[in-house]
Each structure stands twice: as C-alpha cells, then as structure tokens.
Amino acid sequence: MPRWSDPAPCDDDERLFECPDCGKRLCTDLSTVSCDRCGVEMQNLSVPRPQ
C-alpha cells in the first residue's frame, strides 16, 4: 500500500486548495472550489497572496 509524502500532489496546471474549516486539501484547475463537507469556499494555497 503506497504512502503519500504529500497529501495533495498537484500538477503544474492545477492548484492546491485547502478548506479553512476542516483542512481538507484538493487539487483542481478551477478558479474557485467549495469544500464538499463544509460548503465553504476553499483557499488557494498555490499562489501567493494576491494583494
């Protein structure tokens, strides 16, 4: 059984999002994504703060 050193490895074209509530991580190429458990907007961790 493989073990993942990175819980959410992403390809270059994808972005890593994390739920601020439960910490769930997801890789997607969508601009925004909501946590399927909490229903809140997940934060994009793959880019520096836009401001």
Q: Does 38 bind Zn ion (CB under 5 A)?
A: yes
Query: Which residue's CB is nearer to Zn ion, number 21 or number 29?
Result: 21
Q: How far is the CB of 22 from Zn ion (least distance, A)?
A: 3
**Contact partners, residue 21, CB within 8 Å, separation at least 6:** 35, 37, 38, 40
Point out which span in 1-9, 12-20, 26-34, 43-51 binds Zn ion (CB under 5 A).
12-20
CB 9 within 8 A of CB 45: no
Q: Does 45 bind Zn ion (CB under 5 A)?
A: no
